[in-house]
């Protein structure tokens, strides 16, 4: 980073205030909302699971009660037939039941039984009442199995079967009729499971799916009437979980299995790209049927309240964040805008605009700071103006000293009066057309003024001699660059700034003096002043030669370019002549107009512009050539 350049600052006070508001307001609100939503979701999840479990328990109890009622009805028929079973043959009693159509009343008294028969244990025939089931093959198989079990003294309830004539699920129940300790007959009944379907339909709804499966995982009843009866439900993960849990149960008291139940999340993969995330509860019907009740719902539905609460909380946090941002921006602006004005004013003041003032109408500390800033600006402006005034005085004193030296040299050699000023002018024109900056042109101009300062140490008789110098006198004259260096040692800053112009007698081919430097080893200021010095010598009258025209002198310079003179410097000088910067009239003004030629006119700038440039007045306080005069 360049020295003097302010270090860039990152961030703005407005952002800091908004960040603080966000940290103390929005972040705690967001955390509290998140904590409340998490707690609420946990509570809702527990409540939902308990709700599903209670619903499954209720439905399983209702199913168990209904199935037990069916068993009780069939058992009641068997117990009735056992009364006075030994008084007459069982076959005769069956004939009498058939004649009297006694079984019809059982169907009339029951909404569930659709078929009842009592068969003789020996012949396998007997009276029946209800639907004609001869065409129901699967049902006949179950009736036959129940009869055989009854022959061996065992009661039976079959797996659910879809009755084709009714298009509803039914079960077959068998109960043996005992007489004298032996099986005399078997009561067989077919009962409808439509009430269980009604229970599931009434319990299920938009939020839940409720269904009952048997011990094989076949559908007994479903809350959705569109679901096919006896469908295989083992494709559902929760049904498989229920069947595995049922197999792990052992018979409990009374020969019945203890209930297997649980709640678990699972997926229904109808579409692999969009699986349904579910929450389900299973519960075994508390009897020996092995049936189970499943209650399930979509997670989004089951946890709708929690999800909706989260969505609303996020919406509230977003609104509060936006509101805090807007209000924070408005209120923080009351602080940041005055501070920004102060910062901008400070940057302009640091850039040299010392008349900068800031208008901050605030009654707090920022207003006090603005008043102090304006007062400081006034004091700085006064100090700068004083520095400029003194700098101008120093310039005049410094340049007066330089001019005094130049005048002293010219007074010693009346034939070269004005020579230093013209050389300075020609050098400045050459520097401009070499593309040098205004500050560098000023250095070149100053070098031109003092390039012959060493002649003060040369005897007058040699300087004023009208004839050609002897070899001894010429050797003495060649000492004036070295003497000039010794004179400038008293002013180190001037020597560093313009002392290289003393090398104007060095030639690019190495034949010059005092050091015999060659090519680029010769300082650029020396090469420039060399061209200007030779041009002025050729275009002014001397005791030993008449002045050349400007065109002839430039032709001579070009001829000696690369030998005595630097070619780029000669070409730059020629461009100055061709553009009109170098002309006889301007040369006369440069030497006669009291050495106040405006260098800035070479660059198309008024003198005031340089004086008003940032730092110009302060820089001028040091010894150096003034930017507005030669």
CA distance 197 to 205: 13
pLDDT over 60 at 426, yes or no: yes
**Confidence class for position 110, pLDDT limits 50, 70, 90:** confident
pTM flag (> 0.75): no
String of b and e for 608-624 (b: at least 16 CB within 10 Å)? eebbeeeeebeebbebb
Amino acid 153: pLDDT: 92
DSSP label at residue 275: P
Position with higher pLDDT, 367 vs 85: 367
Over the stretch 204-229, which tens digit does the pLDDT of each residue have? 777 788 999 998 999 999 988 888 88
Over the stretch 54-69, which tens digit does the pLDDT of each residue have? 999 999 999 999 999 9
Amino acid 86: pLDDT: 61
Q: Degrees (nearest 5) of the Cα angle 43, 49, 55?
A: 135
**Pick from 82-91, 387-396, 488-497, 584-593: least confident:** 82-91
CA dihedral 436, 441, 447, 450 (to 10 degrees): 170
CA 161 to chain centre: 64
Amino acid 611: pLDDT: 39
Amino acid 629: pLDDT: 28
**Pick from 423-437, 446-460, 582-596: least confident:** 582-596
CA distance 393 to 391: 5
Q: Are 420 and 402 in contact (CB under 8 A)?
A: no
Q: What is the mean pLDDT of residues 368-382?
A: 81
**Pick from 50-54, 108-112, 263-267, 367-371: least confident:** 367-371
DSSP label at residue 470: P
**Confidence class for position 348, pLDDT limits 50, 70, 90:** confident
Whether omega before 290 lies within 30 degrees of 0, making that bond cis, reads no
**Confidence class for position 607, pLDDT limits 50, 70, 90:** very low
In this prediction, what percent of the chain has a pLDDT beyond 90? Answer: 29
| Sequence-separated contacts (24+) of 4-7 with Cβ below 8 Å | 6/347, 6/350
Amino acid 320: pLDDT: 75
pLDDT over 90 at 425, yes or no: yes
Over the stretch 154-168, which tens digit does the pLDDT of each residue have? 999 998 988 887 788
**Pick from 395-399, 502-506, 529-533: least confident:** 395-399
pLDDT over 70 at 597, yes or no: no
Over the stretch 8-22, which tens digit does the pLDDT of each residue have? 554 566 677 677 767
CA distance 181 to 179: 5
Q: Are 554 and 577 in contact (CB under 8 A)?
A: yes
What is the 3-state secondary structure of 182-225? EEEEEEEEEEECHHHHHHHHHHCCCCCEEEEECCCCEEEEECCC
DSSP 122-141: TT----EEES--TT-HHHHH
CA distance 173 to 66: 13
CA distance 85 to 290: 34
Q: How many CB atoms lie within 10 A of CB 596?
A: 13
**Confidence class for position 497, pLDDT limits 50, 70, 90:** confident
**Pick from 4-8, 112-116, 188-192, 556-560: least confident:** 4-8
Position with higher pLDDT, 256 vs 478: 478
CA distance 98 to 76: 18
In angstroms, the Cα distances linking 583 to 422, 537, 573, 575 are 11, 15, 11, 12
Q: Mean pLDDT over all residues of the chain?
A: 81
Q: Which CATH architecture has domain 417-619?
A: Orthogonal Bundle (1.10)
**H or E stretch including 113?**
strand 113-120
Q: What is the mean pLDDT of residues 83-106?
A: 81
Q: Are 179 and 86 in contact (CB under 8 A)?
A: yes
- Phi-psi sector, 350: left (phi>0), alpha (psi -120 to 50), beta: alpha
Is the C-alpha dihedral spanning 566, 569, 573, 578 positive or negative? positive
CA distance 117 to 187: 6
> So what CATH class is 84-192?
alpha beta
**Confidence class for position 625, pLDDT limits 50, 70, 90:** very low
**Confidence class for position 4, pLDDT limits 50, 70, 90:** very low
**Confidence class for position 1, pLDDT limits 50, 70, 90:** very low
Which residue intervals of the chain bear CATH 1.10.3210.10? 417-619
**Confidence class for position 626, pLDDT limits 50, 70, 90:** very low
Is the C-alpha dihedral spanning 607, 613, 618, 622 positive or negative? negative
In angstroms, the Cα distances linking 310 to 316, 352, 441, 551 are 10, 58, 75, 94
pLDDT over 90 at 399, yes or no: no
String of b and e for 367-376 (b: at least 16 CB within 10 Å)? eebbeebbee
Give SS3 for 284. strand
Highest mean pLDDT among 63-67, 250-254, 257-261: 63-67
Q: Are 260 and 284 in contact (CB under 8 A)?
A: yes
Amino acid 283: pLDDT: 92
**DSSP-based helix, strand, coil % in the chain, nearest 5:** 55, 15, 30
Amino acid 413: pLDDT: 66
Measure CA of the first residue to CA of the last residue in the chain; give whole Å. 36
Angle, in degrees to the nearest 10, between helices 438-450 and 524-538: 60
Token digits for 529? Answer: 């002043």
**H or E stretch including 213?**
strand 209-213
Amino acid 119: pLDDT: 93
Amino acid 212: pLDDT: 93
DSSP label at residue 360: -
Amino acid 332: pLDDT: 67
Q: What is the mean pLDDT of residues 293-316?
A: 76
Amino acid 347: pLDDT: 81
Position with higher pLDDT, 43 vs 155: 155
- E strands, 285-324, in order: 292-298
Q: What is the mean pLDDT of residues 533-558?
A: 89
Token digits for 33? Answer: 């909302």
Over the stretch 136-155, which tens digit does the pLDDT of each residue have? 888 899 999 999 999 999 99
- Phi-psi sector, 277: left (phi>0), alpha (psi -120 to 50), beta: beta
Which residue intervals of the chain bear CATH 3.30.450.20? 84-192
The phi, psi pair for 232, rounded to 5°, reads -80, 115
CA distance 191 to 604: 118
Position with higher pLDDT, 251 vs 496: 496
Q: What is the mean pLDDT of residues 245-254?
A: 62
**Confidence class for position 610, pLDDT limits 50, 70, 90:** very low
pLDDT over 90 at 35, yes or no: no
Token digits for 441? Answer: 């042109």
Amino acid 255: pLDDT: 42
**Pick from 3-12, 59-68, 383-392: least confident:** 3-12
């Amino acid at each position: 980073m360049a020295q003097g350049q302010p270090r860039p600052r990152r961030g703005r006070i407005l952002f800091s205030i908004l960040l603080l508001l966000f940290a103390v307001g929005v972040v705690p609100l967001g955390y509290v909302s998140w904590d409340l939503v998490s707690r609420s979701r946990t509570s809702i999840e527990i409540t939902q699971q308990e709700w599903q479990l209670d619903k499954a328990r209720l439905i399983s109890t209702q199913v168990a009660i209904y199935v037990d009622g069916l068993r009780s009805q069939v058992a009641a028929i068997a117990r009735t037939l056992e009364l006075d079973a030994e008084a007459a043959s069982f076959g005769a009693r069956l004939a009498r039941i058939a004649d009297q159509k006694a079984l019809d009343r059982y169907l009339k008294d029951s909404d569930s039984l659709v078929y009842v028969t009592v068969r003789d244990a020996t012949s396998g025939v007997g009276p029946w009442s209800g639907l004609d089931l001869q065409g129901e093959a699967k049902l006949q198989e179950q009736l036959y199995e129940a009869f055989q079990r009854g022959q061996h003294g065992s009661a039976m309830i079959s797996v659910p079967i879809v009755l084709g004539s009714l298009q509803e699920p039914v079960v077959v129940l068998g109960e043996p009729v005992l007489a004298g300790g032996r099986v005399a007959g078997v009561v067989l009944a077919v009962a409808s499971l439509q009430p269980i379907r009604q229970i599931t339909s009434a319990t299920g709804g938009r939020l839940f799916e409720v269904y009952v499966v048997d011990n094989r995982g076949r559908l007994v009843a479903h809350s959705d009437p569109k679901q096919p009866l006896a469908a295989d439900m083992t494709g559902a993960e929760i049904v498989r979980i229920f069947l595995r849990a049922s197999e792990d149960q052992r018979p409990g008291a009374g020969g019945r299995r203890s209930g297997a139940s649980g709640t678990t999340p699972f997926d229904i993969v109808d579409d692999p790209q969009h699986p349904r995330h579910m929450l389900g509860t299973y519960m075994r019907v508390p009897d020996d049927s092995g049936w189970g009740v499943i209650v399930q719902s979509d997670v989004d539905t089951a946890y709708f309240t929690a999800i909706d609460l989260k969505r609303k909380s996020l919406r509230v946090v977003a609104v509060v964040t936006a509101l805090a941002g807007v209000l924070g921006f408005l209120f923080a602006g009351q602080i940041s805008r005055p501070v920004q004005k102060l910062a901008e004013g400070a940057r302009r003041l640091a850039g040299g605009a010392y008349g900068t003032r800031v208008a901050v109408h605030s009654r707090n500390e920022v207003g006090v700071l603005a008043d102090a800033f304006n007062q400081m600006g006034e004091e700085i402006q006064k100090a700068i103006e004083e520095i400029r005034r003194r700098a101008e005085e120093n310039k005049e004193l410094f340049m007066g000293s330089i001019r005094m030296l130049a005048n002293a040299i010219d007074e010693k050699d009346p034939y070269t009066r004005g020579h230093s000023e013209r050389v300075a002018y020609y050098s400045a024109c050459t520097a401009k057309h070499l593309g040098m900056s205004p500050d560098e042109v000023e250095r070149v101009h100053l070098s031109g003024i003092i390039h012959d300062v060493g002649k003060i140490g040369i005897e007058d008789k040699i300087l004023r001699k009208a004839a050609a110098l002897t070899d001894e006198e010429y050797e003495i004259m060649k000492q004036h660059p070295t003497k000039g260096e010794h004179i400038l040692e008293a002013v180190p800053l001037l020597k560093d700034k313009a002392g290289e112009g003393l090398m104007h007698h060095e030639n690019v081919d190495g034949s010059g003096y005092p050091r015999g430097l060659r090519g680029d080893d010769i300082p650029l200021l020396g090469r420039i002043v060399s061209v200007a010095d030779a041009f002025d010598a050729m275009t002014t009258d001397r005791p030993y030669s008449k002045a050349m025209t400007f065109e002839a002198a430039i032709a001579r310079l070009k001829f000696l370019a690369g030998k005595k003179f630097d070619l780029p410097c000669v070409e730059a000088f020629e461009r100055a002549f061709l553009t009109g910067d170098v002309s006889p009239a301007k040369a006369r003004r440069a030497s006669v107009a009291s050495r106040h030629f405006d260098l800035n006119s070479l660059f198309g700038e008024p003198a005031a512009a340089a004086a008003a440039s940032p730092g110009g007045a302060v820089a001028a306080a040091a010894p150096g050539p003034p930017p507005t005069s030669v």
